[in-house]
Amino acid sequence: MCGIVGFVGTNKVKDVLLDGLKELEYRGYDSAGIAVLQGEQFSSYKAVGKLDNLVQKVADFKPKGFAIGIGHTRWATHGKPTELNAHPHLGTSSYVVHNGIIENYQEIKNQLTQDGVRFLSQTDTEVIVHLFEKHLAVEKTPFEAFEKTLSELEGAYAILLATKSMPDTIFFAKNGSPMIVGVNDENEKVFASSDAPLIGHAKDVLYLSDGDYGYVSPTELQLFNSDAKNIKPTFSPLPTSKLSAQKEGFRFFMEKEIYEQSDVISDALLGRIQDDGINFDELDPALFDGINEIKLCACGTSYHAALAASYLFERYAKVRASVEIASELRYKEPLLLKDTLFVVISQSGETADTLETLKMAKAAGLKTLVICNVDNSSMVRLADASVLTRAGIEKGVASTKAFATQMSVLWMLSLYVAQIRDTLTKKAMQKQLHALREVPNSVKINDALHEKIRRLSKRYLHGHGFFFIGRDVFFPLALEGALKLKEITYLHAEGYPSGEMKHGPIAMADPELFTIALMPKTLLYDKTKSNVEELSARDSTICAISPVTFDKADDFIQTKSHDHYMLEFFEMMVALQLLSMEISVRLGNDVDMPRNLAKSVTVE
């Protein structure tokens, strides 16, 4: 996820921009840049990799007096992480930074290229600055040119633009990506993608809404809404603690990360879902040549993603898929055959057991692929190929958004392999693509659902254990639900395939045994229902999660009806995350840093 900063003021421009970008590092990035305008003079610096590289480049740049500046950390989507693709992007006399995606950029680019514009980068962003300058040549004012530019952009964006034609002004726009403007008593203005960079530089802040745009100068802050109406900005006081600012109003990082899932899944899908199939720029289809099996290997939550993915690979790509717990695979003297693609899944890319299995697979001559959230991690460096999940840094120890993006990427990967092996009809592929596009919506949380789960949580603070049950991909989801509960509530929980209950575990059923039943409408509903009824008949306390009302349940969390089981999967995933979190809150536990756990497990 990219980050944006901006500043209009005196003497501090370099520090505000660099400190701001530092604060936004947590969003994840692979290049960074700034552009500062003093009178007629633009100075711009960009660097690939860590922010320190940029800091070194600007060491001798010491702007004095009044200046305006914009800065950006970029997480590569359109085009590789190179200096040319890093923001800010230059036109002739203007610079732009942008978060999000301009969906119609290709159309605009074609038109501008015909008009003789030369593009330097592969990004969608560069069209904004050239389009602006095209309009600037004919419109009466730079602001009208900016307005005209926005009217032609489709997609999601947060934009800051600086131009020599109005050297004391920054133009801004927000639609779908976050952006905040802060002001202080010295008439300075600061922009950022979240609160934290503004602390110390602004007193009051304006949280921009989608469709808002306008401009700031030392003397003005003009705000317009999506109807192009000039509106009065409503400021609120800026939090003074960085930690609470980083939580962006949520009680815990885990809560923030649960709510962020819609955005990070959108990032994970970006550029990968195409009109008629799936595209991974980072993969060479030859990786799958001669492959007869996919072996997925991981630990913990990532293992649950692997297990769920194994259903998808067999179902869609018709390729044998096996799943291994990394700590087990290491010592079982496994048969590693060369026609197997070895796929490791890891949020951190550093988990010791998973890393060792990757080394084993490489030593055995297998082709390897890593699905990872951290670029340049040990696994990404070691594997033959990697796909990044783009969840941004996850601070809550209990994984939520990392799992959500792993599942999104793995679902796409199963379709990518299906495409290569030609195992899905065009119509079936279209159905999958349609459902995939809906995932960001399916994980949006409405207040009523959260409130319902919060209220329900008080009934689940005791008892002698929880069974989370489901079938098919809802079995790994049940395992994940049980793991989340164990991690942050310290209550005993197990995940089971629903059909397994009668082979032993059902002996435990009584009113003090809580069953969390995942009952999707679109996948094996009647089969799961029978299993839940068996538990209900033995008086287990049942909490059913389903779009279909179920009268044998003691408690019921109603999910929306979807026409694809994976959309039900994602919505139920959110319900399970919230349930664990709310139980943990009631028990007074440390939600973000549960006892005995570490975020990255780099020991065996």
Q: Nearer Cβ to ligand F6R, position 261 or 351?
A: 351
- Supply the minimum distance, in Å, between the C-beta of residue 74 and ligand F6R: 24
Cβ atoms of residues 273 and 281 within 8 Å: no
User: Which two three-digit tokens encode residue 208?
Assistant: 């921009």
Reply yes or no: is the peptide bond before residue 88 cis, omega within 30 of 0. Answer: yes
Nearer to ligand F6R, 55 or 585 (CB): 585
Buried b (16+ CB within 10 A) or exposed e, 288-315: beebeebbbbbbbbbbbbbbbbbbbbee
Contact 428, 414 (CB under 8 A): no
Near ligand F6R in 383-402, by CB under 6 A: 398-399
Q: Which is nearer to ligand F6R, 357 or 432 (CB)?
A: 357
Q: Which helix (H) or strand (E) holds 502?
A: none
The tokens describing 137, both together, are 């040549």
Residue with smallest beta-carbon separation from ligand F6R: 300
Q: Which stretch binds ligand F6R (CB under 6 A): 294-302, 457-465, 495-503, 558-566?
A: 294-302
Q: Of residues 506-565, which lie at the interface with ligand F6R (CB under 6 A)?
A: none
The owner of tokens 């639609």 is: 175
Candidate list 300, 392, 476, 520; residue touching ligand F6R; CB under 6 A: 300
Binding-site size, ligand F6R (CB under 6 A): 14
* Beta carbon of residue 506, minimum distance to ligand F6R (angstroms, whole number): 27
Q: Which is nearer to ligand F6R, 335 or 603 (CB)?
A: 603
Which residues, 6+ apart, have CB-to-CB distance to 161 below 8 Å? Answer: 70, 94, 95, 96, 128, 129, 132, 146, 170, 171, 172
Nearer to ligand F6R, 13 or 391 (CB): 391
Q: How far is the CB of 87 from ligand F6R (least distance, A)?
A: 29
Residues 106-165 binding ligand F6R (CB under 6 A) are none
Provide, rounded to whole angstroms, the least separation between the CB of residue 483 and ligand F6R: 6
Instruction: Pull the structure tokens for residue 356.
Output: 């060792």
Helices within 422-473 (DSSP H only): 426-442, 447-456
Q: Which range binds ligand F6R by CB under 6 A, 123-131, 231-239, 300-308, 426-434?
A: 300-308
Rg of the chain on CA atoms, in Å: 25
Segment interacting with ligand F6R (CB under 6 A) among 75-83, 146-154, 297-305, 539-547: 297-305
Minimal distance, residue 353 CB to ligand F6R, in Å: 8
Least distance CB 346 / ligand F6R (angstroms): 3
Q: Which residues pair with 393 in a beta bridge?
A: none
Burial 68-89, CB ≥16 within 10 A → b, else e: bbbbbbbbbbbbeeeebbbbbb
Closest CA to 593 of 488, 449, 447, 507: 488
- Piece in contact with ligand F6R (CB under 6 A), picked from 125-133, 134-142, 293-301, 445-453: 293-301
Identity of the residue, 124 or 487, whose beta carbon is nearer to ligand F6R in the bound complex: 487
- Residue closer to ligand F6R by CB (options 76, 298) is 298
Cβ nearer to ligand F6R, comparing 337 with 597:
597
Binding test (CB under 6 A) with ligand F6R, winner from 31, 177, 266, 301: 301
Distance CA 95, CA 462 (A): 59
| Least separation in angstroms between CB 456 and ligand F6R | 22
* 43: β partners: 36
Site string for ligand F6R, 317-356 (x = CB under 6 A): -----------------------------xxx--x--x--
Residues recognised as catalytic: 2, 599
555-558 sheet: strands from edge to edge: 493-497, 465-470, 513-518, 541-546, 555-558
405 binding ligand F6R? (CB under 6 A): no
Q: What angle do CA 574, 577, 581 make, to 5 degrees?
A: 140
Binding site for ligand F6R (CB under 6 A): 299-302, 346-348, 351, 354, 398-399, 483, 487, 601
